Amino acid sequence: MARGKFITFEGGEGAGKSTQVRLLAEHLTGLGLDVVVTREPGGSPFAEAIRTVVLDAATPPHAELSEALLFNAARADHLERTIRPALEKGRWVICDRFMDSTRVYQGLVGGLDQEVLDALDRIVVQPTVPDLTVLIDLDPVVGLARVEQRRLGGALAPVDRYESRSPDFHERLREGFLRIARDEPQRCVIVDGFQSVDALAREIRGHADARLPRGRTG
């Protein structure tokens, strides 16, 4: 059986990742594909337990290395229990955040050495590098306003440890994601998150259909 395709979504807080993950999954399911939607940190029972700990704003700040190890511990379990078995069965996996989030949050912005991150990627991720990564680029002021609006609208999600950081932190996140996507154009596409939900979904569908022909095996 042909291996399924692995698609990841990346971007800053409130960029619209979860919304677009859902819409792309609906599109691909409509085409007859067997689609698994998942997220990071999380996506398996152990990884979800780590998510609770690592995103809890009530605990004091962690050292960047501890965070990177925790995100990667969650990722290793997620890959082993959820992502790789699905791909091997020919299912398509769409993941809300993945390795680029660690590279940006803990690496480019957090200051952790690139060598450490490269080593963790080699140990944990390879050979399961995404076939396509969609970077939703958005002014962080707009993204954070959307998150706040959602909270005021009744979604009772607590503020996580990153949402409350300074505007400069979020601007550096944006630049970090753009740098990775520009350095790896064969894997990544950059889309403008300021469009309407529907226009953005159409653009992302176009990229997925063009870059990941359904007959092609992995």
Q: Give the residues lining the site for ligand T5A (CB under 6 A).
A: 11, 13-19, 40-41, 55, 71, 97, 101-102, 105-106, 146-147, 150, 160, 162, 195-197, 200
Closest separation in Å from C-beta 136 to ligand T5A: 7
Closest separation in Å from C-beta 80 to ligand T5A: 16
Q: State the Cα–Cα distance between residues 148 and 58, nearest whole angstrom.
A: 19
CA atoms within 13 A on the CB side of 10: 28
Contact between residue 81 and residue 44 where contact means Cβ atoms under 8 Å apart: yes
**In this complex, which beta carbon is closest to ligand T5A, that of residue 4 or of residue 110?**
110
**In this complex, which beta carbon is closest to ligand T5A, that of residue 32 or of residue 74?**
74
Closest separation in Å from C-beta 18 to ligand T5A: 3
Closest CA to 89 of 166, 23, 35: 35
**In this complex, which beta carbon is closest to ligand T5A, that of residue 90 or of residue 178?**
178
**Looking at the DSSP assignment, which residues form a beta bridge with residue 191?**
136
**In this complex, which beta carbon is closest to ligand T5A, that of residue 89 or of residue 158?**
158
Closest separation in Å from C-beta 149 to ligand T5A: 6
Closest separation in Å from C-beta 188 to ligand T5A: 16
**In this complex, which beta carbon is closest to ligand T5A, that of residue 2 or of residue 197?**
197
Closest separation in Å from C-beta 1 to ligand T5A: 29
> Helices 45-54 and 64-78, interaxial angle, to 10°?
160
**In this complex, which beta carbon is closest to ligand T5A, that of residue 29 or of residue 66?**
66
64 CB burial (10 A radius; 0-12, 13-18, 19+): middle
Q: State the Cα–Cα distance between residues 51 and 56, nearest whole angstrom.
A: 8
